[in-house]
Structure 1
């Protein structure tokens, strides 16, 4: 029997196809209802039709109107996210490894964490101007606290008996970091990174709403001020694409970093 006619393989493909259809079904129903309701239950001035949004989407790319905004927002997102994750991982690890330092600095971190990050946008614009770096700073700040606390908790929760056993066997600090702390804290790191993705988008868009030369936030703001709901929804759809792609990349990274964990067999689970 050939591989393509293997009943087990066909069953797995059928289950995957069924899961994909179940995943897409609510979205398809929502879009169909939206198309029907727009103009009937609510004026298209407030909620544009999906077909109008698709047409506006095509127009934006065909005219080259949206590409400069996408490039600026992507740069801000990538820089802000990477800086926030990097600083959050280092700070969370160092504070988690040092109980004395944690006792001193944790209250200050908590105090800064309680500040609404949106309130920092005008301050960052004063410091860094209306260009790219004020948005990067705001996004990095929002990402930092989420990653920091997840890494901090992950490091603090490492099994002390495992640490003592590793030290008895002669493990140095670098070996403890690589073979004990990192594997134990990796799920917390990944969780913080995934949670921070939408917050980095929020930080960038809020910064662009406040003051910007280019960017998707500026595009959405201008579309709103000119009563262009199709443009607003098209810009929001682009932001959703960013989040979906970033989550997919984070999911692949999670599989690589946590490949030592036993895999959960989902093929036999009920749908």
Structure 2
């Protein structure tokens, strides 16, 4: 009797341990997700404690006050028109800047003659602080969306341009000559050699350009605007509303983080071939 029961208990033991192992794995996964948030939580806790004790609340507000201000803005619908205006300016400015940077960077990268003619002018214009162009763009395009789109586009353009230009100029000439010897035409050369080689540089430029497009739009709205998050933040600061200022900054942070996540997913999709060929994301 005892011998017959013993194997049964031995067989049940691993099954009983399985839920505990799954629970431990779940706890470990949650811990890995939460650990990166600990510095943020500590900073928020310190901010909440220090406001009114170490620093006057009129200067820095409090996280709880910022959350309450965000709720008020969305509940009343006051922020939606500003959000919509800024979102349109960001998307259009970013898209135009990326498209122009890719085309110009590829054209000058493929043509040494064009590069010799235009690169000095591009370098000279690149040295001008783009923020200084905001008043000029307002004169040209008015106080509406056009001036903000132009400012964001010009800030994005140069980052993307130089990354694409570097990627195309860095293509191995022996690979290009070998491809031509094998009978490839210019379209095939572009598709199978230049574009794969420049793709990581394009994605790098697109990721780096995200915060700069936000800077361009917000600075333009600071200068002159009728709608937009920049105008909202400017008005909040002029009326000594630090909670409103931090609420606007928090919304902009969501814009930047969300755009960065989308850019990362696009990069993984477009550069999947590099992972399959043994080149990891850290090497891109």
Does the C-alpha gap of structure 1 residues 12 and 167 become closer, same or farther in structure 2, counting only changes over 3 Å? farther
Does residue 61 of structure 1 match 2:74? Answer: yes
Instruction: Specify the alignment match of 2:112 in structure 1.
Output: 99
Does residue 118 of structure 1 match 2:124? Answer: no
Does the C-alpha gap of structure 1 residues 254 and 225 become closer, same or farther in structure 2, counting only changes over 3 Å? same
Does the C-alpha gap of structure 1 residues 178 and 32 become closer, same or farther in structure 2, counting only changes over 3 Å? same
Does the C-alpha gap of structure 1 residues 9 and 265 become closer, same or farther in structure 2, counting only changes over 3 Å? farther
Counterpart of 1:244 (choices 257, 272, 276) is 257
Q: Note the alpha carbon deviations across 1:144-187, whole angstroms, 9 max, x for none.
A: 00000000000000111111111111111111111111111111
Structure 1 residue 17, shift from structure 2 partner: 2.9
- Which is greater in Rg? 2
5+ residue gaps in structure 2? 1-13
Structure 1 residue 104, shift from structure 2 partner: 1.1
Counterparts of 1:81-96 in structure 2 under 5 Å? Answer: 81-96=94-109
Instruction: Specify the alignment match of 1:222 in structure 2.
Output: 235
Structure 1 residue 32, shift from structure 2 partner: 0.6
Instruction: Specify the alignment match of 2:5 in structure 1.
Output: none
Mapped to 1, the partners of 2:185 and 2:146 lie a distance apart of: 39
Structure 1 residue 202, shift from structure 2 partner: 0.1
Equivalences, count: 264
Instruction: Specify the alignment match of 2:9 in structure 1.
Output: none
Instruction: Specify the alignment match of 2:3 in structure 1.
Output: none
Normalization by structure 2: what TM-score? 0.88
Mapped to 2, the partners of 1:152 and 1:82 lie a distance apart of: 18
Does the C-alpha gap of structure 1 residues 83 and 210 become closer, same or farther in structure 2, counting only changes over 3 Å? same
Q: Note the alpha carbon deviations across 1:214-245, whole angstroms, 9 max, x for none.
A: 00000000000000000000000000000000
Mapped to 1, the partners of 2:194 and 2:23 lie a distance apart of: 42
Does the C-alpha gap of structure 1 residues 160 and 143 become closer, same or farther in structure 2, counting only changes over 3 Å? same
Q: Note the alpha carbon deviations across 1:50-77, whole angstroms, 9 max, x for none.
A: 0000000000001111000000000000
Does residue 138 of structure 1 match 2:151? Answer: yes
Name the one with the larger helix percent. Answer: 2
Instruction: Specify the alignment match of 2:6 in structure 1.
Output: none
Counterpart of 2:91 (choices 78, 83, 86) is 78
Instruction: Specify the alignment match of 2:168 in structure 1.
Output: 155
Instruction: Specify the alignment match of 1:168 in structure 2.
Output: 181
Instruction: Specify the alignment match of 1:269 in structure 2.
Output: none
CA RMSD of aligned residues (A): 2.2
Structure 1 residue 18, shift from structure 2 partner: 3.1
Structure 1 residue 78, shift from structure 2 partner: 0.1
For residue 103 of structure 1, give the secondary structure of its aligned residue in structure 2.
Answer: helix
Mapped to 2, the partners of 1:66 and 1:197 lie a distance apart of: 22
Structure 1 residue 262, shift from structure 2 partner: 2.5
Does residue 21 of structure 1 match 2:14? Answer: no
